[in-house]
Amino acid sequence: MARKGLLITPDLCIGCRACQVACKEWNQLPASKTKNNGTHENPPDLDANNFNRLKFIEYADQKGIKWLFVSHRCMHCGEPACVQICPVGALIKDKDTGIVYYDKNKCIACHACKSACPFDIPRYDQGGKGKIAKCHLCIDRVRAGLIPACAKTCPTGAIKYGDRDALIKEAKAKKYKLYGETELGGLGVVFALTESPKVYKLAENPRISESVAFWGSVLRTLVGRGDSATSSFIKYLAKKSNE
Amino acid sequence: MELTRRSFLKVSTGAFLLSSLGLNLEPAKAYATGLRTKGAKEITTICPYCSVGCSIIVSVRDGKVINTEGDPDSPINEGALCPKGASIYQMANNPYRVTEPMYRAPGENQWKKITWEEALNKIARLVKKTRDKYFITKNEKGQIVNRVDAIAHVGSAALDVEECYILQKLMRSWGLVYIEHQARI
């Protein structure tokens, strides 16, 4: 299987947020109670029950005001920092599709991945204290030949799923500026933009800290031991790597 | 492939580097035990919300709805669904759904459960009362009109042609002229 990906075209998005609903429906995630914070953007942040979220951006320039909708989720990096730092191999990059998914049974809730991620994606269950929860690009569906829930439901084609190379070619043919084509080994989620990435609140030149590989190897060495004192030490170190 | 010292070094260094990056070289384990809807019975239905009429596949196992998603074979929605349509799963599985008639008396701030019989009788009584009070037989010009201006009816986009026909008959028989439809508002 060729590397799979999403192509997100904010210009086609109407901000209906069916992607958020479909994601919750497929992944059986409960609702979170939220407050109206003065914008249509809701929920206010990603969490263990919200794997994707639509950013509403009001942007003004000389030409006037633009209202931009940007679908936001795990970028499924080509060189995922979370996979590099995870001491127990709970975060996994799928060899066939390039999808970065996870195994909750392996996760030890050390939260090292949060510090490694350049896009601030990993969230944790049990009110932020438990195990990893994030977008896994519906890898269960993908392996069964279905397309991810968000891309399936999108009524305007703002979220498209397919072979990454084909999606990039298609966006280039339409003269879009691409974000994610080369960043961090090429992101699995590629954006087709008409303005600079900054306008869409996408991280410019995302980088993985050089210490990620170091912390990863330190943590992995300790995991071999497996007594409770070591595991709390791992959590302490993981916290330290956050700083 | 003949394994020379040089190519052996290349391969083994590469493998070492990859493993030092934390990439799992073993076959990756499945995310879940399998597809959630595998082996479930699939039934198609029409979205009950607006008049676009998108098709939905409902997956059913042991008589329970376990998943709903757009039907890719539909020429109307081609597998896509809006947020309301995508939430249709909650029509069947929702602890907050009202499943019995509820009544809030004038001045009360609490809803209480009542039976269908009570509810229908109450509605019928109120319709009769209002209709008797406001029924107009003749307008200012003395023409026979036989109408009720005090009651209005709002139909739903989820009604099909036959249901609309029966509702129209019923409302006209009461003398209603304000007969509206959700899709026009």
Cα gap A153→B180, rounded to integer Å: 31
DSSP-derived letter for residue A187 is B
Please report the DSSP string for A37-78 in residue order.
Answer: -SSS--SSS-BTTBS-EEEEEEEEETTEEEEEEEEE----BS
In this prediction, residue B3 carries a pLDDT of 52
In this prediction, residue A223 carries a pLDDT of 73
Domains of chain A by residue range: 1-11+74-243
Q: From first to last of the 185 residues of chain B, give the pLDDT tens digit.
A: 445 565 555 555 554 454 445 444 443 444 445 888 989 999 999 998 887 889 999 999 999 999 999 999 999 999 999 999 999 999 889 888 899 999 999 999 999 999 999 999 999 999 999 999 999 999 999 999 999 999 999 988 777 789 989 999 999 999 999 998 876 65
Alpha-carbon distance B14 to nearest alpha carbon in chain A (angstroms): 15
Model confidence over B142-152: pLDDT tens digits? 999 999 999 99
In this prediction, residue B45 carries a pLDDT of 93
In this prediction, residue B7 carries a pLDDT of 55
Weakly modelled stretches of chain A, pLDDT under 50: none
Please report the DSSP string for B35-67 in residue order.
Answer: -TTTT-EEEEEE-SSSTT--EEEEEEETTEEEE
User: Is the distance from CB of A61 to CB of A87 less than 8 angstroms?
Assistant: no
Chain A's closest residue to B19, CA to CA, is A84
In this prediction, residue A231 carries a pLDDT of 66
Model confidence over A127-140: pLDDT tens digits? 888 999 999 999 99
The residue among B31, B49, B65 with the most chain A CBs within 10 A of its CB, best to mutate, is B31
Sort out which chain B residues have CB atoms less than 8 A from A143's CB and list them. 30-31, 35
- ipTM score of the complex? 0.83
In this prediction, residue B4 carries a pLDDT of 57
Cα gap A192→B15, rounded to integer Å: 35
CATH assignment of A1-11+74-243?
Answer: 3.30.70.20
In this prediction, residue B24 carries a pLDDT of 44
Chain A's closest residue to B89, CA to CA, is A25
* B41-92 CATH choice from 1.20.1300.10, 2.20.25.90, 3.30.230.10, 2.60.40.10: 2.20.25.90
Touching check for A18 and chain B: CB below 8 Å?
A: yes
Touching check for A71 and chain B: CB below 8 Å?
A: no
> Between the CA of residue B157 and those of A239, B53, B75, B100, B164, what are the distances in Å?
54, 9, 20, 22, 10
In this prediction, residue B19 carries a pLDDT of 47
Closest CB to B23 among A16, A83, A102: A83
Cross-chain residue pair A18–B24, CB shorter than 8 Å: no
Domains of chain B by residue range: 41-92, 125-184
Sort out which chain A residues have CB atoms less than 8 A from B31's CB and list them. 101-103, 136, 139-140, 143
Please report the DSSP string for A94-124 in residue order.
Answer: -TTT--EEE-TTT-----HHHHH-TT---EE
